[in-house]
């Protein structure tokens, strides 16, 4: 079984949340069971990472296994070896492959030819591990009856949030500028699960009566050439105290890294309502649950 889209685990989310809670509770008490003893995870990183890399590597260590970090310069992919050949070869050595890639299609191809589980650590289309962890965090704090608002770029995180909220029955209101809205096929797929997802082209409508407000960077990796244009386009979508007057004293979420003073102000990111760093911490426990399930 692969985890390339969050839809791949639509029937297993409750099990993942339950196991994540168990592993979190055990970790807080210093209990680490070697569930993945002698298991090895290959981690391919085309993009830089802090939380994804560290949480997966620590997760494998705490589960008694081992993780191998592979930067582009460390593999023959950089010299033109096909994804197919890489997938077949790595499958002979390791028990699972996690990849953080630029193109979603490349991860699909890796999954097609790998005989061990492939985990999407981020692509241009989705970020399922992040959003499964986000949903776990929401479940801990508010439950899925809460109203979630996402404000900013209709990017990979937004796409996975749309699918994740639809599958859990959560109400999600998305606010993005015109031309920067979520993937249409993602929105259509979500509509098959739920009618509680709405898309707006302004931030105020998106956050009305929201119990949780979520944002992400305006300029993702590989979009530096668009920096000035994006700053201008997104300036009305900043999560600040004025915008949040329209919400319901909301909790604040951000998948990090944050560009303080752009998509979110220091005041809000560091406020008592911010659960951003617990959200980041939960990546570890959810990643452990995913690894236990898949490996």
Active site residues: 100, 127, 130, 216, 255, 283
How far apart (Å, rounded) are the C-alpha atoms in residues 232 and 166? 31
Residues 6 or more apart in contact with residue 292 via CB below 8 angstroms: 19, 23, 35, 36, 63
Residue 3 sits at φ, ψ, to 5 deg, of: -120, 85
CA distances from 231 to 223, 227, 236 (A): 12, 6, 10
Give how far the C-alpha of residue 11 lies from the chain's centroid of Cα atoms, to the nearest Å.
Answer: 18
Nearest one of 273, 145, 289 to 214, comparing CA atoms: 273
Residues 6 or more apart in contact with residue 286 via CB below 8 angstroms: 16, 20, 129, 132, 133, 136
Q: How many helices and strands (H and E) does the chain possess?
A: 12, 9
How far apart (Å, rounded) are the C-alpha atoms in residues 192 and 148? 19
Give the single-character DSSP code of 72: G
What is the edge-to-edge ordering of all strands in the sheet holding 147-151? 197-200, 171-175, 147-151, 212-215, 251-254
Residue 284 sits at φ, ψ, to 5 deg, of: -65, -50
């Amino acid at each position: 079984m692969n985890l390339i889209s969050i839809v791949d685990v639509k029937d297993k989310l409750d099990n993942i949340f339950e196991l994540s809670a168990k592993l979190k509770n055990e970790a807080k008490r210093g209990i680490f069971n070697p569930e993945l003893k002698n298991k090895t995870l290959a981690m391919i990183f085309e993009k830089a990472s802090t939380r994804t890399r560290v949480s997966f590597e620590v997760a494998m260590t705490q589960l008694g296994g081992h993780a191998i970090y592979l930067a582009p310069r460390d593999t023959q992919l950089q010299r033109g070896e096909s994804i197919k050949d890489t997938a077949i070869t790595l499958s002979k050595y390791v028990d699972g492959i996690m990849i953080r890639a630029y193109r979603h299609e490349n991860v699909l191809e890796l999954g097609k030819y790998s005989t061990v589980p492939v985990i999407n650590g981020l692509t241009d289309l989705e970020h399922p591990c992040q959003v499964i962890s986000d949903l776990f965090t929401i479940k801990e704090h508010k439950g899925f009856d809460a109203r979630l608002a996402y404000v900013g770029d209709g990017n990979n995180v937004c796409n996975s949030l749309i699918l994740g909220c639809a599958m859990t029955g959560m109400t999600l209101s998305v606010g993005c500028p015109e031309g920067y809205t979520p993937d249409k096929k993602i929105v259509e797929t979500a509509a098959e699960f739920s009618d509680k997802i709405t898309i707006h082209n302004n931030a105020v409508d998106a956050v009305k009566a929201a119990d949780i407000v979520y944002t992400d960077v305006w300029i993702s990796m590989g979009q530096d050439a668009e920096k000035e244009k994006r700053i201008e386009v997104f300036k009305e979508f900043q999560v600040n105290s004025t915008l949040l007057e329209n919400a319901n004293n909301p909790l604040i979420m951000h998948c990090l890294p944050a560009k303080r003073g752009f998509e979110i102000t220091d005041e809000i990111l560091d406020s008592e309502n911010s659960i951003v760093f617990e959200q980041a911490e939960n990546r570890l426990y959810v990643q452990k649950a995913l690894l236990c399930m898949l490996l």
